[in-house]
Amino acid sequence: MPTSPIKLDKSDSSIVLTCDLCPWWSALAIGKPNAWTSAEQHERIAHPELPQVYRQARYERESYARRAAAAREMPREPEMSR
Ligand SMILES: [Zn+2]
């Protein structure tokens, strides 16, 4: 698993992103998909020498999207078809 220099600091309402390689940079995100999008953008712009890092961000985002889609497809009341 590649390690990202970006750290996510979660609070109740938002996620603060910081980067080990860029002490001057931080970002605020609402929700995990938003946080990973910000992380991916920062990594692509500031750290093009680390392509594996934003692949990890994309993986995290897509696995989150898959879980959300799976939750939507879950039949809530299977008994209703009778
Ligand atoms: Zn950085």
Residue 57 lies in a domain: yes
Q: Ligand 1 centre from 5 Cα, in Å?
A: 7
Residue 65 lies in a domain: yes
Per-residue model confidence as pLDDT tens digits over 31-53: 888 888 898 889 888 988 876 66
Number of domains in the chain: 1
Residue that has been written with the tokens 């080990």 in this structure: 20
Q: Ligand 1 centre from 21 Cα, in Å?
A: 5
Q: Ligand 1 centre from 22 Cα, in Å?
A: 4
Q: Ligand 1 centre from 28 Cα, in Å?
A: 14
pTM of the model: 0.62
Does residue 28 register a pLDDT over 90? yes
Per-residue model confidence as pLDDT tens digits over 46-72: 988 876 666 777 777 788 888 888 888
Residue 80 lies in a domain: no
**pLDDT value for 20:** 92
Domain that holds residue 16: 6-71
* Cα 20–Cα 39–Cα 57 angle in degrees, nearest 5: 110
Residue 33 lies in a domain: yes
